[in-house]
Amino acid sequence: MVTESTRTPNVSTFTPSTTPFYEQPKMLRRAVLWGLPAVLLLLFLFWPYQQWDYDKRESILIGWARWVSKRADWQFCLLVPGLVGWLVWLRRDELCRLPWQGTWRGLLPLGLGLFLYWVGYKANTGYPGFLAVQFVLAGFILLVAGASWMRTLFFAWLFLLFTWPMQPLEDSVASPLRPRTAAMAAAVLNTVGVPAVNEGSALQSAPDAEHGLQIGDAFSLDVDAKCSGINSLFALMMISALLGYLALKRPRSRFILFVCAVPLAVAGNVVRLLLLVAGTKQFGVDFAVGRHIGEHQEMSPYHTFAGFAVFGIALAGMFALCWLFEGREMKANLKRHGRPPAAGEICEIPEPRRTLARLLAALILPLLLLGMCMCTDIGFHVAAPGVKLRSDDSRLPFLPLSLGDYQGREYDMTADEKNLLDEGVRLARNVYASATGRQIMATVILSGFEKRSLHRPEVCLPNQGWTVTDRTQIPLHMADGREISIMMMRVFRDAEPKPGVKVRTRAINFYWYIGSDGTSCADHYEHIFLSYYDAVFRNIQHRWAMASIYVPLPEQRVGQEDPMQELGAAEDAKEFLARLAPTFMLTKEDWLKGAQASGTAP
């Protein structure tokens, strides 16, 4: 028999909870797991951030993925986000045990990340946006989850840096690596009994009077940027960091392994050069290196195979170092990763109200930033150039036809230059000759209305067959009292006009960049930095010009060069430049007057 009391339900089971929803851990976790990813997607995946190809603006991640996928040297970056997710999954056991104890100190990296985001958006460049991803993530973790979560995820967060292609480091790192790689290869060849010499990045066989061989007859290689170790360096640094994290336990051992990625990459490229030398001596240059068709180098299969030596040598060295540091403990170190999560309650939230307040700050601040971006003027209002223009309607830079005892002759832009340079680039070129026979070619290139439309001589000259020996910044004291810094490069190119006769053409190339307000600098990346800095903080959109002065030296037989010719040419060129530069470079006062008259002053 069922009594009334037995049919009466338990009233306590229907009593609604008196705890506000925002203090319930499950609701807070849902808000975090949905809200923060939504903000990240809005900032970095959907918001149009930069003009990656001088067309429409695209988001940071879409532009990054499209840029990286087109460049084989950086395609390893596409793997990094998946590896970061795997690293986080390996630490899931520790993360499940950690409470959410956020700290307001997370506002510091979050604010820095949002500021960098705005700087890159205003300057129309992606690299501040890459840093913004890193700092915004760190800010979210510290603000909502706390320092213990940041310590646990620190390596995964730091490893995310390999996602971003550090293209500006290609030249700054590759330039010193190229001559050193050639010098080390020459030292090894001389040690094993193969006479070799190097000059700059050129590696050539030594002259042998006994057998009637001139310099470079047996082999002649130039260590370009791709053979310097730079293409493999960043990928090997990523591998060394990951291997050290997984296989080693002591921080000092991990750091040493990571640092050793640089010499291991260079060692691998030295072996690569030695293989190319051996292939050239045995089977000829076409088999070992490939054919040079016009300005394009077609790599042979042997050349491609030799490239794998870089990774073979470097990886072997990495595993040897791991075994040397913690050989017998490596298996135990590997097993400590990937433990199953603990059962029971996860991610406790001791202070739900404070966690909610920090979560709201993490959500609202990025939205305020996007509102600020909407109000930011991102139009490209190019300023007047910092060089004089001709009085006619050509809008070409001005160069005088005579200067002292030098008489000039105008030369137009070649068809190859028109194809190479961006639309809107203007060029003025004069070839000057003095009564003493000295010839100097002066070129002033005015950039177009797109950013970074000037090409570096360090890239153009090797593509034309020149070998860059060295580059040095030197001061230039102009005749009107101004002093600027310019870059001086020494280059050479070998030719064989007839069988058995090799001649070398040497030249000196001076160049520097001239900004819209009379600012000048000698380094390519300095002028890029000034472009972005002035666009953001001074509201000046530079229209840069580059002055390039080329001084050829007479052809001489290889190995019989007269060093005094180069010294004399350098001194003549400096004296000529001191008088030429003031004729086409505007002073800051002259530029400001012209800019105010044309309405382009900041």
User: Whole-angstrom Cα distance, residue 253 to residue 247?
Assistant: 10
pLDDT band at 111 (very low <50, low <70, confident <90, very high): very high
Instruction: Determine the average pLDDT of the residues in 138-164.
Output: 95
Burial of 558 (0-12, 13-18, 19+ CB in 10 A): buried
User: Whole-angstrom Cα distance, residue 244 to residue 232?
Assistant: 18
Instruction: Determine the average pLDDT of the residues in 577-584.
Output: 94
Instruction: Determine the average pLDDT of the residues in 508-531.
Output: 89
> pLDDT tens for residues 194-204?
888 877 677 88
pLDDT band at 18 (very low <50, low <70, confident <90, very high): low
User: Whole-angstrom Cα distance, residue 315 to residue 190?
Assistant: 27
Would you kindly state where each structural domain of the chain is located, as residue ranges? Answer: 18-165+349-374, 169-325, 402-598
Residue 19: its pLDDT value, please?
56
Instruction: Determine the average pLDDT of the residues in 239-261.
Output: 91
Tokens read off for 230: 């730079």
Q: pTM of the prediction?
A: 0.81
Q: At 495, give phi and psi (nearest 5°).
A: -145, 160
> pLDDT tens for residues 283-327?
887 777 777 655 555 677 887 777 777 888 889 999 999 888 887
Q: How many CA atoms lie within 13 A of 567 on its CB side?
A: 4
Q: What's the CA angle centered on 214, arms 208 and 218, to 5 degrees? A: 85
For residue 488, the 8-state DSSP code is: E
Instruction: Determine the average pLDDT of the residues in 212-226.
Output: 72
Whether 407 shows a pLDDT value over 70: the answer reads: yes
Whether 6 shows a pLDDT value over 70: the answer reads: no
Q: How long, in residues, is the chain?
A: 602
Residue 53: its pLDDT value, please?
57
Residue 588: its pLDDT value, please?
84
pLDDT band at 602 (very low <50, low <70, confident <90, very high): low
